[in-house]
Amino acid sequence: MDRFYSLNHSSIDFVFKQTPRDFVVEELPLYEFSGEGEHLVLFIRKKSLSTLELVGIIAKYLGIKNKEIGYAGLKDKHAMTKQYISIHKQHEEAMESFSHDNVKIITKTYHNNKIKIGHLKGNRFYIKLKKVNPTSAQKIDEALKNISKQGMPNFFGYQRFGNDGDNHIEGEKIAKGEKKERNPKIKRLLINAYQSHLFNLWLSRRLEINTLIQNFEVKELESLLNMPNEELTKMKAQKHPFKLMNGDIMEHYPHGRLFDFDGEEDDCNRFNDRGISPTGLLCGNKVKTSSDNAWVIEKEFDDEINADGARRYAWVFPEGVEGRFKPEEAHYELNFSLPKGSYATVLIEELAKRKIT
């Protein structure tokens, strides 16, 4: 299935390379550090290093195990990134002498607990697009306004699927017991890629349905989508570009409990106001699935696999969206924040309306 996009403009020409000069990420912590406690919290700037490589370098320097270093999330290797790590306070003096060409300690503080995976609110991005002409810059301006106002689809980015983009193929075999993988981390990575692949296919299908609803009359849609007239009429009346279906599973945004959507106008308004958002399925065990008309679509992208499932926001709302065109350099600079688990490269592809790899 071809990828569907949420915006209506034609594709935009520009050049984007994920390099430390043009792609900068700053982690937004989940909570304020207390300033006291047995854990030393370091705010670190790194470039051309993955988070795991950073952790390995510091662990080797200190003579400790990698697992003794806490971090909230994995940051891109091909970028300039700023993130927090925690180590025991006993290593503070040793870290005073730490030096690495691609690593700089910006600030330090203390906290009572070790930083753990998921302990982040999101990330702030600075991105530079190149070879942008004035016409393209105007189209980017308008697209950013729409994203700032309405949000964007929460696809998994290309990074999720490996260098060749085919990790999900191996992941499916492993998840179904057709192939063995002894390394637990690699096994989890590949199975996650398969779950992500199915999620992306489902989300693209939902965006395709949105497009059909926007462009056809209800009578035409009945045969195109094989859905009841009443449901289609309600969907067509919704203000938001992502059309909610009876049986969708919603989640309070940016975090909270799950509940079923049953067509209430109040819930449509709460979605418009960013108080809730629809979720998609990451197939597996112990996961709540949608119902009614939403399940008719979702079940096509469900699969029985030996892994735990989950729900993921189908739609997210970037914050602090800013854009600046530099005509003398033919550059376009943009800043925005995304919740954890969302990909900046997906926003770039939404602007371009094409793959950027």
Q: Give pLDDT tens digits for 157-212.
A: 998 998 888 999 999 999 999 999 989 889 999 999 999 999 999 999 999 999 99
274 and 246 inside one domain? yes
pLDDT of residue 357: 73
Do the domain assignments include residue 124? no
Could you tell me the mean pLDDT of each successive run of 10 residues in the chain, 357 residues long? 85 94 95 95 96 96 96 92 97 96 97 94 97 97 97 95 90 92 91 97 97 94 92 95 97 95 95 98 96 97 94 98 97 97 96 89
Q: Domain end: 67, 99, 118, which one?
A: 118
CA–CA separation, 284 vs 175, rounded Å? Answer: 9
What is the CATH classification number for the domain harbouring 215?
A: 3.30.2340.10
Residue 256 CB contacts under 8 Å (≥ 6 apart), including other chains: none
pLDDT of residue 80: 96
What is the CATH classification number for the domain harbouring 66?
A: 3.30.2350.20
pLDDT tens string 75-107: 989 899 999 999 999 999 999 999 999 999 999
332 and 268 inside one domain? no
Q: Which domain range does residue 136 map to?
A: 1-22+129-151+320-357
Hey, which residues are catalytic here?
Answer: 76
pLDDT of residue 1: 52
200 and 245 inside one domain? yes
pLDDT of residue 96: 95
74 and 2 inside one domain? no
pLDDT of residue 163: 80
**Structural domain total, the chain:** 3
CA–CA separation, 262 vs 291, rounded Å? Answer: 10
